[in-house]
Structure 1
Amino acid sequence: MNRRRQKKLSRRLVEAAEFEGVGVVQALVRAGVDPNVENSDGTTPLYAAAVRGATEIVKYLLDAGASPDVESGDETEGTPLCAAAAWGHTDVVRLLLAHGATPDLREDGGKGRSPLEWAKDGHHAETVALLLAAGGQADSPS
């Protein structure tokens, strides 16, 4: 696949993960788009799907090899786990943890907020309990 087409399809994958169904995401990955690709803003498909709570898309991307701990948005968005925790998307949090997401990985290169802090601030009790059980921590970074 040439570079221009790869760039276009990469942007399209992030858009599909954010706004469309799992079928479009599957078709793009099958066409050769890397599930870890970022768009021009640094957004990853996994982050885009996690923030909206798109459980099927998150599962597909993880099964296709998307890394659950990659920070999205050049430190303007965060990790998929933080995104899902902030919005109380417990099913997505569960999937990310099952695929190896680090429960206490902080955003902003380790200096920002943890998934547990986001879940607590959003008053998402079920998500808080799930993160605590997985070893999540909310202490301030040292």
Structure 2
Amino acid sequence: MPQQLIDKCAEGDVAAVKALISKGVDVNYRGTHGNTPLGYSAYNGHDKIVRMLLDAGADPDIPAFDGWSPLALAVYECHPRLVKLLLESRADPHFVHGESGENLLHVAVAKSEQGANATQSVALLLGAGVDPNGKTKQGVATDSFNNVTVYSETPLQWAAAYG
């Protein structure tokens, strides 16, 4: 049943998710790739389901096996409503990806082609205290820019170069 919860969260099936939560299915279960139901819901922009999961005790800081937290996934997919909700639910805004060193501002800036949604996410993250001077690691391929190699760069440098 935990995998069913993940599937229904990814699909956005509010009624099924509500029923599974009421049956006591583990809202922090990690699926095949380590994502939780909250991670799938945040990635797919399912606001109501994210709220239900948080109300049911979902931990907003459990990362997938690739290191990305639900908040990072919401930022990556340009869902500022969910970025705000997750930050209000005490998701850690100081996430730094272990392999690339990207912080959440790097991720938001990388999505600048999404326009206002990315801009809203940047504002929310700055308001939450994310370090605008955080640097990526030297010579590492990044997920946010389709494996572009980065060289100890700040979010501002990314915005100037790629945004």
Equivalent position amino acid for 1:56 in 2: K
1:100 is aligned to 2:98: no
Instruction: Specify every segment of 5 or more residues in structure 1 that has no aligned partner in the other structure, as ranges.
Output: 1-8
CA contact (8 A) 1:71 1:107 kept: no
| Mapped partners of 2:91, 2:38: distance in 1 | 12
Q: Helix, strand or coil for the counterpart of 2:62?
A: coil
Cα distance between partner residues in 1 of 2:92 and 2:136: 15
* TM-score (normalizing by structure 2): 0.74
* Shift in Å, 1:141: 5.9
Please tell me whether Structure 1 or Structure 2 has the larger radius of gyration of its CA atoms. Answer: 2
Out of 122, 125, 131, the position equivalent to 2:125 is 131
Kept in 1, the 8 Å contact 2:72–2:107? The answer is yes
Q: Which has the higher helix share?
A: 1
The reply on whether 1:55 has 2:50 as its aligned counterpart is no
Greater share of residues in strand: 2
Aligned position for 1:19: 11
Normalised by the length of structure 1, the TM-score is 0.85
Higher relative contact order (CA 8 A, sep 6+): 1
Measure, in 2, the Cα distance between the counterparts of 1:122 and 1:82.
12
How many percent of aligned residue pairs carry the same amino acid? 34
Q: Which runs of 5+ in 2 are unaligned?
A: 113-117, 138-163
Aligned-partner residue type, residue 2 of structure 2: S
Count of aligned pairs: 131
* Matched-pair contact (CA < 8 Å) for 2:17–2:49: yes
